[in-house]
Structure 1
Amino acid sequence: MTPPAPAPSRGSRLRALAGRAVDDAQLFRPRLAIGSLLVLCALLLGGMLMPVPYVIESPGPAIDVLGEYEDEEILTIEGVQTYPTDGTLMMTTVSVDGGPGYTVTPVEVVVAWFDRSRMVMPRELLFPKGQTREETTLQNTVAMGSSQQGAVAVALDELDIDYEDTVLVAGVQEGAPADGTLQAGDVILAVDGTEPTDVASAQTLIGDVAGEKIPLRILRDGEELDVKVPAHVVDGARQMGILLGRGHDFPFDVNIGVGAIGGPSAGMMFSLSVYDELTPGALTGGHRIAGTGTIEEDGAVGAIGGIRQKMVGAQASEAEFFLAPAANCEEVIGFEPEGLEVVAVSTFDDALQATETIAATGTVEGLPTCEDVSS
């Protein structure tokens, strides 16, 4: 018979309890560490995916205005003699991420920050606070339509071809009272029986009409129409939800279509392409010429945004030469892509002379560079 084991002493019981506590603590510590790491990763991931108020400008495609876009001819001229051409005249574009209705994350901003071909800017530098996606789309559509009208007018002025000024529906806001009744491109012939002389007079006539609907006579696709446009009162003023602009009645049909691309920065290249098709021979001499710049009615070429990204897009499309607004030259210097010859222009006449020089010589010799105009 085995004698019973002696009862453990108080000291040994305490040591056993302390040992188990140490074992439990060692087991709990890695669990706590893993849990804390998971929480930290979740916080970091959430922070990386959280929208931030920045926009990122990236190079967009360079599009030959003398060619096609989305399987449609960009420039079509009917009702007048046109001439075959050669080479390319490219409008350049910028892709903007993070505008109204869209977001970018801190990760995207950091990646773009270290990419020399992209630009990161606070959103409010490009878009007013509170501006919606619909408002942005409307503004870009209006700017593109006005740019096209002005571009054709400048080319026709150069060729001494007469045309008449009109009041144009430059854009219709989606969901506005006029949506479904008026369209961008409609010409306002009369407001309640009275012919407007310019945009300001049209706005005055519209404001003076009594009643819930405004009688308009418009010209659409060559046909005169009488329509009654609903309106509502905002801050005491009657509004239809349209933007009016200065338009032109040309002696022949000129249509420029670039899909959903908006903004005014292709004006100069549109003018060159219209001039090219209305004159014998190839204006480019067969060369690949890209460019950018707004165009004013007097032929002045204005500054645009995203000039560096547009040069990169032109290089990617194998452009040989680039026409840049002189007002953008400080942003151009030091950022010219390899193999792309950049010429500074201030007017349509400058751009025309540069294109003709390139066609004749294949070089930019004697033409102003950005270093020349900035020195």
Structure 2
Amino acid sequence: MTFFDAPKSPKRRRFAGWIAFGVASIVAVGLLVVPTGFVIERPGQVFNVMGQIDGTQVISSAEVETFESESRFDVTTVSLLGNRESTPSWVQVLYAWADPDQVVLPLDEIFPPSFTAEQFRAESSLQMEVSQQDAIAVALKKLGYEVPRALYVNTVLEGTPSSGILIAGDLITSAGGVPVDTFDAFKAQIQLAKDSALSIEVIRDGQKTSLLVTPSLRDETWVIGSTIGYTYNFPFELDLQLGDVGGPSGGLIFSLGVLDALTEGSLAGSAHVAGTGTIDPDGNVGPIGGIALKMLGAKQAGAELFLAPEANCQEAIDKIPSNLTVVSVRDLTEALEKIELFANGEQLPAMQCNN
């Protein structure tokens, strides 16, 4: 005798179909709305510092003559999708994982748990402001100007060690008994003090004052709860306008742009140069994040030469886009030398990294 399964009734088939549809819908909604814990980096916009943004010249001055240039110097950026308040969806994360032109990173790596998106933007804006001031100072010193510099308190956060002790506008002259005129030197004294009272000498309303601030520990770093900026005594006012761009990585390109704007002729001839890298008050070029994405953004914008910090060489060397000449530079002087060679049509050696 042969037995056969009884056929499922249309009602049972419809019921199973609805269950499958419901499960698929829940999964789809989850992929769209469940927080991921990641952010996505992509190539961002590029900005020619020798040009205009929204009709305003990026580099200008009402006090000194500036010159037009045929050269193009692009600041490169990374576009960031997501923050602590709103992460990208799982659909976006899965797509980005499969796309070589995007990078998926853990949320905490970009936004420390103690930072809100507003605090991140504020710090990024301050970094850009400091970077621009350093870039102008380095360029002016290259042109032979004297440029005195001092640290100052930009803001004091409520409920932090500095609250009620430091005030915005204080000029910082020393910390821990050591003269300081760079943020790194000041930060180093804070780390040395740890949880002991740190003596900070400031000039307030023209008077020297000694204050005691006890740092607190945040994310393995000792902090005092103040944002610190540079103030320079420039020989004339120079305005740098780059819209809503933050971070310090445009320093090198800003210095090159200022040099080009303040001298007749075109620093790189008619070449299209892009690059990235911080610049310190002595003209040294420092490392940045997102080098591969910035090179890709430069290539997409039509750049011919890309200046990369030497400290990023190992990260960059295997990710250089085709038909883009990439060179590593240690400081402003080396950047100028390699730009001159390129502008004169000389073949630059292939990028090599020092071990």
Query: Normalised by the size of structure 2, how large is the TM-score?
Result: 0.78
Identity %: 36
Residue 327 of structure 1 aligns with which residue? Answer: 311
Letter in 1 for 2:10: L
String of CA shifts for 1:248-291, please: whole Å, max 9, x gaps. Answer: 11010011111111000000000111111222211010110000
Query: Equivalent residue for 1:293?
Result: 277
**1:58 is the counterpart of 2:32:** no
Change (3 A) 1:351 1:326: same
- Aligned-pair distance for 1:351? 0.9
- In structure 2, the gaps of 5 or more residues are 1-5, 161-167, 173-178, 191-197, 207-214, 217-223
The reply to whether residue 41 of structure 1 matches residue 21 of structure 2 is no
CA drift of 1:360 comes to: 1.9
Q: Which residue, out of 5, 9, 13, partners 1:30?
A: 13
Matched ranges for 1:254-265 at <5 A:
254-265=238-249
The yes-or-no answer on 1:373 pairing with 2:353 is: yes
- The letter of the residue matching 2:27 is L
Equivalent runs, 1:227-242 vs 2, <5 Å: none
The reply to whether residue 125 of structure 1 matches residue 105 of structure 2 is: no
> Which residue in the other structure is 1:107 paired with?
91
* Equivalent residue, structure 2, for 1:6: none
Question: How many angstroms apart in 1 are the aligned matches of 2:154 and 2:49?
Answer: 21
The answer as to whether partners of 2:139 and 2:258 remain within 8 angstroms in 1 is yes
Structure 2 contact 152–171 (Cα < 8 Å) conserved = no
Between the aligned partners of 1:68 and 1:333, the Cα distance in structure 2 is 32
Deviation per CA, 1:203-226: give whole Å up to 9, x if none. 9xxx99xxxxxx9659xxxxxxxx
What is the CA-CA distance between 1:368 and the residue it aligns to? 5.0
SS, match of residue 338 in structure 1: coil
Q: Is the 8 A contact 2:169 2:204 kept in 1?
A: no
1:307-327 C-alpha deviation (Å, 9 max, x unpaired): 111111111111111111111
Q: Does 1:249 align with 2:233?
A: yes
Give 1:58-207 correspondences, 5 Å limit.
58-170=42-154, 188=170
Which position in structure 1 is the counterpart of 2:326?
342
Opposite residue 102 of structure 2, the aligned amino acid is R
Between structure 1 and structure 2, the one with the greater Rg is 1
Please give the alpha-carbon distance, in whole angstroms, between the structure 2 residues aligned to 1:171 and 1:315: 39
Q: Which ranges of structure 1 fall in alignment gaps of 5 or more residues? A: 1-21, 177-185, 191-195, 209-214, 219-233
Corresponding residue of 1:222: none
The answer to whether the 8 A contact 1:138-1:171 is kept is: no
